[in-house]
């Protein structure tokens, strides 16, 4: 089960869950765009570039051995003086946990709700730092995106251009060197194709069970099965049908941030990790296949995407279905 942190305020809760349930929880740490204005500010271009270079160069364990053998290499690993505290903390959490990944980060168009958003420019800088950190440490990245898919694709393209070369795991090529997970995805088929070329996987939430959510339901059909993941987005994006009213798709667009304001969607009270079984059945119904096929594919995909960075990737993989859920909003 993947639990995504959203800010330094909730990262300790993610750590606690991972410690309590080490065989179940795959921890993720990141800065959600809803906290962009609180933690982020415009970084001068020169400082931004130095941070990106530093983050991409920090790839343990090789860097640790290289640093001890070469004083000049050790100085290269020193963080730039402009490094924000939250980024140092995030890097340390990931260094201490080889099974942890990066997220939740991403882009959310200002004016579309969702907490104290920074400008799109600040959000893009924050996203680029997360991508560089993930590339350096070889971790997957879970991204949130609302009405900013073009900017997201541009940032992924830039990160791919900065990569030394695509990484191939279990026969799948990742241009950035790491997998990207588009959380609670509802993009068009054109967006899907562009992001897929950049190594993206697409996670579908319980809102797919609502007939009114046409974009999510369309995505559940056009996303290739070999790139499909399942999530609960707990406590948001609850199931629809027989458990309380309904909700418009516009409401659902911002409901992923509802917990930050105390508002929850007008469906069931909240979602739960076990909801992914119903989500799988809803996707299967839309695709004209069996729920078993959906679960099997999602399981194989999750095993590859959320692998422990200290282990060599396997072409087959094993394990339970990965359920994506955010941590307690900070």
Q: What CATH number does the domain containing 177 carry?
A: 3.20.20.140
Classify residue 158 as left (phi > 0), alpha (psi -120 to 50) or beta. alpha
By residue range, what is the domain housing residue 175? Answer: 2-326
Number of domains in the chain: 1
Query: How much is the pTM?
Result: 0.84
What is the full per-residue pLDDT of the chain (330 aa) written as tens digits?
899 999 999 999 999 999 999 999 999 999 999 988 888 788 999 999 999 999 998 765 544 444 445 444 434 578 999 999 999 999 999 999 999 999 999 999 987 667 667 889 999 999 999 999 999 999 999 999 999 999 999 999 999 999 977 888 777 889 999 999 999 999 999 999 999 999 999 999 999 999 999 999 999 999 999 999 999 988 787 787 644 334 444 444 444 454 333 343 444 467 788 889 999 999 999 999 999 999 999 999 999 999 877 665 443 333 333 444 444 333
Measure the CA–CA gap between 306 and 314, rounded to whole angstroms. 12
Measure the CA–CA gap between 255 and 288, rounded to whole angstroms. 28
Measure the CA–CA gap between 275 and 83, rounded to whole angstroms. 40
H or E stretch including 137? Answer: helix 120-137
Helix axes 189-197, 149-162, angle to 10 degrees: 10
At residue 289, the 3 state secondary structure works out as coil
The count of residues in the chain is 330
Provide the pLDDT for residue 241.
62
**Backbone CA torsion sign across 97, 98, 100, 102:** positive
Q: b or e along 311-322 (b: 16 or more beta carbons within 10 Å of the residue's beta carbon)?
A: eeeeeebeeebb
**Backbone CA torsion sign across 250, 185, 212, 239:** negative
CB atoms within 10 A of CB 253: 22
Measure the CA–CA gap between 247 and 265, rounded to whole angstroms. 7
Q: Which of 92, 106, 110 is nearest to 31 (CA)?
A: 106
């Amino acid at each position: 089960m993947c639990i995504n942190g959203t800010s330094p305020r909730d990262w300790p809760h993610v750590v606690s869950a991972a410690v309590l349930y080490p065989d179940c929880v795959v921890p993720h740490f990141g800065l959600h765009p809803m906290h962009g204005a609180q933690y982020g500010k415009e970084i001068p271009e020169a400082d931004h570039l130095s941070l990106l270079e530093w983050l991409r160069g920090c790839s343990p364990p090789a860097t640790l051995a290289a640093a001890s053998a070469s004083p000049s290499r050790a100085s290269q690993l020193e963080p730039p003086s402009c490094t924000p505290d939250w980024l140092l903390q995030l890097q340390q959490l990931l260094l201490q946990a080889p099974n942890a990944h990066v997220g939740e980060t991403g882009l959310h168009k200002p004016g579309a709700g969702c907490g104290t958003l920074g400008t799109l420019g600040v959000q893009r800088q924050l996203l680029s730092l997360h991508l560089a950190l993930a590339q350096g440490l070889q971790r997957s990245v879970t991204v949130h995106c609302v009405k900013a898919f073009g900017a997201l694709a541009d940032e992924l393209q830039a990160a791919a251009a900065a990569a030394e070369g695509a990484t191939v795991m279990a026969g799948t090529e990742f241009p950035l060197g790491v997998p990207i997970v588009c959380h609670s995805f509802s993009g068009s088929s054109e967006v899907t194709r562009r992001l897929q070329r950049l190594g993206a996987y697409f996670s579908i939430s319980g809102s797919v069970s609502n007939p009114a959510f046409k974009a999510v339901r369309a995505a559940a059909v056009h996303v290739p099965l070999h790139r499909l993941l399942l999530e609960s987005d707990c406590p948001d994006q609850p199931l629809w049908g027989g458990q309380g009213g309904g909700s418009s798709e516009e409401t659902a667009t911002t409901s992923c941030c509802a917990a930050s304001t105390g508002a929850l969607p007008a469906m069931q009270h909240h979602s739960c990790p076990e909801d992914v079984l119903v989500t799988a059945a809803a996707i299967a119904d839309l695709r004209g296949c069996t729920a078993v096929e959906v679960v099997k594919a999602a399981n194989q995909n999750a095993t590859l995407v959320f692998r422990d960075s200290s282990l060599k990737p396997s072409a087959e993989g094993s394990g339970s279905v990965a359920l994506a859920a955010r941590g307690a909003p900070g």
